[in-house]
Chain A
């Protein structure tokens, strides 16, 4: 009976979360009768209701509400001019000659050098050295961690060879090596600056925040503009995309270093540099390793995606296979990518674990020497293999040892689509469901968004942004919406928006259901956790492949991919939010005899509200980034415009769409971001 008190507490908290401005609607609080008391009690709800009313009515009355044609700005012509200028001046303009071309030549040379290094090492050399490096990262001893890491590496290399993806894997790895090096270095420098200088931190933070919201897809076009299609573009896009987590975590590590240790260091008379080297850096090591891990995973994601702008390797295999609907090959390459992701993640997180001082107990000096020796040996072996490796055997994985599973996969997929796609009795089949989803959810929503007058939509965005976040968020949202309109992308963007909303709804449903399950059922948690962990490290591109097999090319395919991509993060946030609900409140409710449903509905969910909002925010950002990539598999809308712009090399088409995606991303982010807090570390 007393659970309501706790519930009420939750309610009371509600109004003071955003900047309190209840005064405006104050009088209504008294006037409202009991049924409406709740509504009136929270002016926010009233405001939302009013706005929704305005939106619905105006949509019904006006019939069509696209952004007025007269208010659009022609940005295609200047972009075309820019494109022409670039083509004419790429080889003569000083900015290219003295700056950009240096970068791109350097990028190209370094990747080429790494590829030829791998080549001259031969498959045997690469496998041996790779396995050694993984083993050494895991601790270079006989512990489970070290053996597991080394074993994973060996397995992955062999699997990639057997799958006949050796060459592509090497190309991807070469690009990865260069990209990881670049982004780690860039991230380190920026993180160092931001970690030591408050001003720099203040400058970089909003940039990083925005970059985090930007779908990977949007990075490709500007790079294309500067570096043309090819490996340099891909490499540089990757470096830029992956540097922020490294920088962020480096800065965080430097900033959160135990102040007592730093003070102790200063009190002993250390110079600032001594302090940096002996205290700050070592103390930030764990965070930096985490940053490196994240950067590596993001690099992989981008390197694969960057096949759209000319990167080679596994991503290209997938891209080309998608182009010819060769799901078998795409799946095989996808498996290789997944394996590489597992390898890189395991290796770096094992290294990170080892650096963690709390785990690193009982290290003897002998062991430290052994480790040093192993690293040394690895380096020597690298040199030896580079010199003679190719003479030990073929450069590439021997053909005789490969198994072609593409045909089997393809026929499996065909069987699947033929038998489960349609015509399953009663259930209907995946394709039928997808059509249903399109008919009953996506289409009405798109029509709804398109018939809503632009001003009503802007009002909605503003109100939601203000209520959830701050007036600043509201303003940003509205400005982004206006930009979209001005670029003449209203309809395409509404199409994308409808897909995002559809995807978000599904993601939240999936996320909540599984989140609650994992939070409450130990076994589900145990089973799901490793799955979620792995899923969160997967490159986005990989998710596209199985969904086409399921539902064919369509918007719903993209949305399903988005849901699969975004759900793990939402599940995790939800379950964490639920689990970390104040134990005292839980205990109080239990002691009062609340059933577990009562506990969930009246205590956990209300108290975990903030976490759930963070989940929505994450969901929106992730869904959007996937929905636009789905332009490749029939998602249409903004994503398709970008794809078309990329494949036609047409800046004037791709760039506005890219900017539109970014605008949409920022708008959605601001609308779903609780005031005064930043999700995602």
Chain B
């Protein structure tokens, strides 16, 4: 599932939205989702098991639930699918249950109710041995606090997962050295974690996860403890890896720009529930509610929204002539083109003009006036279809 992400910023990233969309639809068409979560609950507290099944309790707000039962629902009735090769980002503020959710995926935290399948295997029904097998081979995790073993060298840390699987020393060290090279740690193999910078430590964490060659990589806010600059480097590292290997990733973050940068799809969580799930553009352009709207308020919209969404229907006169754009071109790029050319632009899909971009369209996006009515994108699509 090789893809061709560029590695410089949201704009270029989103340039490939087309590829991604293609990949996604291809994936979903070809096979069942890698991860399939249905009605998953995790409730902490006394007698937590009764809550998901109790129609009266299950719809209570978080505060009221705590008051009535002493329980907290960290994950409430969550359902989603992760497709093969996809980067699925779960985003939310701290306490929204996203970290709990990702731990539920390999049962590092035991879910209270729901169903969970990885590769069509029922995870919740697994016994301990099979669960270990799942953790060893299928899903590896990268942690916010790295979780490195301070008494081991970098190489031995990377090889840790292989050691657990019982691989012989020489073999696993060779493999680990290879991984170290891959994540940019060549030559640091004999150091100890304390001698590394935060970014380097997280590279070790990443290499450790990669070493076991998992189908799915789970990231739990891996870069939030890092400096902004290093964070950016690391994000690029992930993008690069994804491009090279096409591994399925579930990425937890509280950082919206990170989510927008990395995610093929984003699930936004609040109080344990998924408020909205969609592509970055959908989230920014058509927030499901005020909470989401508030969340994405400061996003530079022109860098997320494509011209498909910004264009107005073309008049007959405009159907030909003038510069062409593909519908997935970002508004920011359209602005650049227009600034250079000075005239309206045509949005062309499959050789057919589906709309026109003028100054007003672009300014609407930048000013955030493009999403006034609910369901406007549908309208846009309808228009496009016409």
Contacts and interface: CB of A to CB of B under 8 A. Distances in A.
Given A278-B149, A283-B149, A269 B136 contact: yes
Interface string A187-226: 0000000000000000000000000000000000000000
A267 B150 contact: no
A268 B133 contact: no
14 contacts: A260-B144, A260-B147, A261-B149, A263-B108, A264-B141, A264-B146, A267-B139, A268-B140, A268-B208, A269-B136, A271-B132, A278-B163, A279-B149, A365-B190
Contacts of A572: none
Interface stretch (A45-53, A106-114, A356-364): A356-364
Contacts of B52: none
A137 to B, nearest CB: 17
A263 B220 CA distance: 12
Interface string B143-179: 1111111111000000011011100000000000000
Interface string A261-278: 111111111110010001
Given A265-B160, A265-B164, A268-B212, A357 B150 contact: yes
A263 B164 contact: no
Contacts of A267: 106, 108, 135, 139-141, 143, 218
Interface of B: 106, 108, 131-137, 139-141, 143-152, 160-161, 163-165, 190, 192-195, 205, 208, 212, 218
Given A278-B160, A358-B194, A361-B195, A264 B143 contact: yes
A269 B160 contact: no
B179 to A, nearest CB: 14
A364 B190 contact: yes
B148 A285 contact: no
Contacts of B194: 357-358, 361
A458 B208 CA distance: 63
B216 to A, nearest CB: 12
A130 interface: no
A383 interface: no
Contacts of B106: 267
Interface string A94-120: 000000000000000000000000000
A290 to B, nearest CB: 15
Contacts of A261: 147-150
A186 to B, nearest CB: 25
Contacts of A285: 151
A282 interface: yes
Interface residues on A, range: 20 to 34
Contact of B164 (A268, A358, A363): A268
A582 interface: no
B328 to A, nearest CB: 36
Contacts of A533: none
Contacts of A269: 131-137, 161, 164-165
Contacts of B135: 266-269
A269 B166 CA distance: 11
A263 B140 contact: no
A interface, by DSSP: helix, strand, loop or mixed?
A: helix
A258 interface: yes
Interface in A159-199: none
Most chain A C-beta atoms within 10 Å of own C-beta, residue among B134, B150, B195 = B150
Contacts of B137: 269
A258 B163 contact: no
B143 A260 contact: yes
B141 A274 contact: no
A361 B212 CA distance: 27
B6 to A, nearest CB: 31
A361 B147 contact: no
Given A258-B147, A357-B193, 20 more contacts: A258-B145, A260-B146, A261-B148, A264-B160, A264-B208, A265-B147, A267-B135, A267-B141, A267-B218, A268-B135, A268-B136, A268-B160, A269-B131, A269-B136, A271-B164, A278-B163, A285-B151, A358-B150, A360-B192, A365-B190
A271 B132 CA distance: 8
Contacts of A271: 132, 164
Contacts of A260: 143-147
A136 to B, nearest CB: 18
Contacts of A363: 192
A11 B96 CA distance: 40
A262 B147 CA distance: 7
Contacts of B208: 264, 268
A263 B208 CA distance: 13
A249 to B, nearest CB: 17
A179 B107 CA distance: 44
Contacts of B133: 269
Interface in A223-274: 258, 260-271, 274
A13 to B, nearest CB: 30
A265 B135 CA distance: 10
Nearest to A359: B194
B223 to A, nearest CB: 15
B164 A274 contact: yes
A283 B160 CA distance: 15
Contacts of A274: 164
B147 A263 contact: yes
A268 B161 contact: yes
A363 B190 CA distance: 8
Nearest to A268: B161
Nearest to B147: A264
Contacts of A266: 108, 135
A357 B143 contact: no
Contacts of B149: 261, 265, 278-279, 282-283
B274 to A, nearest CB: 23
Given A260-B143, A260-B145, A360-B192, A270 B164 contact: yes
A288 to B, nearest CB: 12
B262 to A, nearest CB: 20
A263 B152 CA distance: 16
Nearest to B164: A270
Contacts of B145: 258, 260
A358 B196 CA distance: 11
A363 B143 CA distance: 27
Interface in A584-638: none
A271 B131 CA distance: 10
Given A267-B106, A267-B135, A268-B212, A361 B163 contact: no
B344 to A, nearest CB: 53
A565 B195 CA distance: 41
Contacts of B143: 260, 263-264, 267
Interface string A19-63: 000000000000000000000000000000000000000000000
A369 to B, nearest CB: 13
A270 B108 CA distance: 12
A601 to B, nearest CB: 42
